[in-house]
Amino acid sequence: MRAAWAAINLDALAHNLRLIRQQAPGKRIIAVLKANAYGHGLARIAEALSSVEALGVARLDEALELRKSGITQPIVLLEGFFAAEQLPVLAAGNIQPVLHHEWQIEALLAHGGISDPLKVWLKVDTGMHRLGVEPDSAKKWYQALSASQNVNGQPVLMSHLACADDSEHEKNSSQLGVFGQLVLDIEPVSTSLANSAALFATLGAEYDWVRPGLALYGINPLTRSAPENSPVTYLRPVMNLNADVISTRAIGAGDTVGYGATWSSAVPTQLGIVAIGYGDGYPRHAPEGTPVWINGVCYPLVGRVAMDMITVNLGAESSVKVGDTAQLWGEQLPVETVAKWVGTIPYELLCNVAKRVTLEY
């Protein structure tokens, strides 16, 4: 028997990458690997994506871990640098920062200790109002960076859509209009707008670089139901989060289970105890009824999620036995389904998988 492990299907990852290339023919791809490759294992996923044109991470430590692991592809630092002292480290590691604030640009322009000019990305706030320079100052900064000896060539002009997961949201057309006008005014040599959701919603996928994250891992990034045979429906989940049943027991009507005795059975039934809990990243607030897949059947979660185990109601006639494997999400039980039950998003479930969960490729 085994406690929680995540089986990572690299064939599914390769399939998803092919699908993304079909969705964005001729475009260059930044595979987004932030947050430990969305819980899938940073270095190993990077190795499996050796054909993409660049890798994207959020923090410098992630970029340095990839370099330490022997990854040689260009790395884009999506939140940029946090201190000017990091600039020589970026130059030495061929790490490309996204510049999203005036202080970063000014620090780069004024720095005198960079051994090699940096390839940089200039992020513009087209309406998300989170990161990015103001549109009316974008041309000024683009020209200043292009003329700087600290910058290798011209920046890549980029932005980010706030509502790409809802293809019909009015915010999309507004942001696309702002970005399109900037491209006309600045005439950048390279551009980027589309993340996973925008890519499959065909919003901004015409620009040079696409930045898939969630879709690489086989998760539907769109909030609206996709039509049958839509490309997004062919994504395959890469992570299968599993754990074994370590105990079964019969209980009578009125018996309770778990901490707080919050659930009691209305009728005699059998329970299965699965070796996974919030210590493994399974959500503690998962409600009664959250599905758990065992031997082709989805059984409802009952009682409180504990640190190391959960309980499912197997029913009076169940044939589930000790040693059978449960799937918490994956090919048999989409993580999107579990996320809806829990009241969260797939990103959170994937990223919260704990270090003690073994990743098997």
Is residue 208 located within the same domain as residue 256?
no
3-state SS record for 273-302: EECCCHHHCCCCCCCCCCEEEECCEEEEEE
Which residues contact residue 37 at a Cβ distance below 8 angstroms, ignoring those fewer than 6 apart? 44, 45, 46, 217
Is residue 215 located within the same domain as residue 354?
no
Is residue 22 located within the same domain as residue 169?
yes
Active site residue 259: yes
* Per-residue pLDDT at 191: 98
Is residue 96 located within the same domain as residue 35?
yes
pLDDT above 90 covers a percentage of the chain that reads 96
Q: How many domains does the chain have?
A: 2
DSSP run (H or E) holding 52: none
| Rounded mean pLDDT, 256-281 | 97
Tell me the C-alpha distance between 54 and 67, whole Å: 13
Residue 1 maps to a domain: no
| Rounded mean pLDDT, 153-160 | 98
Q: What is the pLDDT of residues 179-226, one digit of tens each?
A: 999 999 999 999 999 999 999 999 998 999 999 999 999 999 998 777
Instruction: Tell me which of 68, 140, 259, 340 is the catalytic residue.
Output: 259
Instruction: Tell me which of 27, 34, 119, 123 is the catalytic residue.
Output: 34
CATH code assigned at 71: 3.20.20.10
| Rounded mean pLDDT, 17-42 | 97
**Structural domain of 316:** 239-360
* Per-residue pLDDT at 111: 94
| Rounded mean pLDDT, 238-262 | 97
Which residues contact residue 25 at a Cβ distance below 8 angstroms, ignoring those fewer than 6 apart? none
Tell me the C-alpha distance between 318 and 296, whole Å: 12
Residue 227 maps to a domain: no
The domain boundary residue, chosen from 170, 187, 219: 219
Q: Is 315 left (phi over 0), alpha (psi -120 to 50) or beta?
A: left
Instruction: Give the side-chain half-sphere CA count within 13 A for 321.
Output: 1
Query: Please, which pLDDT band fits residue 114 given cuts at 50, 70 and 90?
Result: confident
* Per-residue pLDDT at 56: 98
DSSP run (H or E) holding 36: helix 34-39
Residue 244 maps to a domain: yes
